[in-house]
Amino acid sequence: MRPSSELTRRMEMFTGLALTPLPLAWEDSANWLWKSEGVSPELIKLARMRPEQDAFWHGLSSLFGFDRWRIAERIPHLAGALPPLLPLMPLPMTYLGQLQHCPVWSLPWRTASVAHWTTTFAELLGDHVGRLHREAVSGWGHPLERTFALDQWPLRVKRYLSCSTRRTELGSLADRLPAVPTRAVWSLPDLRVDQFMWNATGWFWNDWEALLWAPLEFDWSLFELLLDNEIHRAAFYEAYRLHASPPDVQQHRFHCRAVLWLMNVFGPLNWETLASRPCWVDSLKRH
């Protein structure tokens, strides 16, 4: 699926650029995309999914208090707040305004290959995340909108799970409080390998607009599901441990998995399938 010819025409009038519509990577992709023509091409992004239309953005709004539509103009500033010298540097993003009440952003176009799982990429990601986790943050939520104290996490998670229309699949988990996290860190809840690219000049991070602050245990619960190859896990961990130590996720794992499941971060899986994924992070604390 691509943006319609009528939407493309309106976007060309809005930006003053000749645009080529690009296909959606996923049926529930958050943005419509175009490539501009010219000497210095850009990637133009038009917000497509509101929180009430999409499970992922609804979860960010309901649990983390983050609505990208509400702070669209300020989201590009977030990249400047990240630690310096990240091995996977974010591409700068510019807010262009609103088209039919929908936010529009642009990023510099890069001719590059989409990253895929290799030992090299796993090591780079471990180094990248370790540097992010080394940075002290004051709470969880969104640094440009609203943040919460760590002791508010259990009740907000319980409310989020309990209010879901799919809560019956979670059984008694939805009625129990998770543990209080140890600290908060920079986190990208929809982290995927295809959000990174590489070319002859290096690696870069091209999709980071859902970046926020989350409990450390939440982020590691995400990695536990994301890294399903033992070699990649080892490469990730060896690079990460140079900067930080992984937490004990035992008292957090299944609540965090339930949050990720309700947000459809790993696609349309049933709860039992996601809950039964290997619990390999526990073994790291023994090494």
Look at residue 26 and tell me whether its pLDDT is greater than 80.
Answer: no
Residue 60 lies in a domain: no
Residue 10 lies in a domain: yes
The mean pLDDT value of the chain amounts to 94
The count of structural domains within the chain is: 2
- According to the model, what pLDDT value does residue 179 have? 96
122 and 203 together in one domain: yes
Residue 61 lies in a domain: no
Rounded Cα–Cα distance for residues 11 and 104 (Å): 9
Q: Label residue 27 by pLDDT band (50, 70, 90).
A: confident
Residue 268 lies in a domain: yes
100 and 190 together in one domain: no
Q: Label residue 93 by pLDDT band (50, 70, 90).
A: very high
Better-scored residue on pLDDT, 27 or 209 = 209
Residue 63 lies in a domain: no
Nearest 5 degrees, angle CA 187-CA 188-CA 191?
135
79 and 193 together in one domain: no
160 and 214 together in one domain: yes
124 and 255 together in one domain: yes
Over range 71-91, report the average pLDDT: 94
- According to the model, what pLDDT value does residue 132 have? 97
234 and 154 together in one domain: yes
43 and 129 together in one domain: no
The b/e string for 215-226 (b: 16+ C-beta within 10 A; e otherwise) is bbbbbbbbbbbb
Over range 79-100, report the average pLDDT: 94
pLDDT > 90 fraction of the chain, expressed in percent and rounded: 89
Residue 22, domain CATH: 3.30.200
- According to the model, what pLDDT value does residue 5 have? 94
137 and 97 together in one domain: no
Look at residue 286 and tell me whether its pLDDT is greater than 60.
Answer: no
* pLDDT per position as a tens digit, 234-270: 999 999 999 999 999 999 999 999 999 999 999 889 9
Look at residue 215 and tell me whether its pLDDT is greater than 90.
Answer: yes
- According to the model, what pLDDT value does residue 120 have? 96
Residue 62 lies in a domain: no
78 and 171 together in one domain: no
Residue 59 lies in a domain: no
Look at residue 70 and tell me whether its pLDDT is greater than 70.
Answer: yes
Residue 212, domain CATH: 3.90.1200.10
Question: Domain containing 39: what range?
Answer: 5-54+68-83+91-108
Residue 244 lies in a domain: yes
> Could you tell me which residues come within 8 angstroms of residue 191 by beta carbon, excluding any fewer than 6 positions away?
222, 226
19 and 120 together in one domain: no
* pLDDT per position as a tens digit, 137-161: 999 999 999 999 999 999 999 999 9
* pLDDT per position as a tens digit, 168-209: 999 999 999 999 999 999 999 999 999 999 998 889 999 999
Look at residue 29 and tell me whether its pLDDT is greater than 80.
Answer: yes
The b/e string for 55-89 (b: 16+ C-beta within 10 A; e otherwise) is bbbbbbbbbbbbbbeebbeebbebbeebeeebbbe
Look at residue 285 and tell me whether its pLDDT is greater than 70.
Answer: no
213 and 155 together in one domain: yes
142 and 262 together in one domain: yes
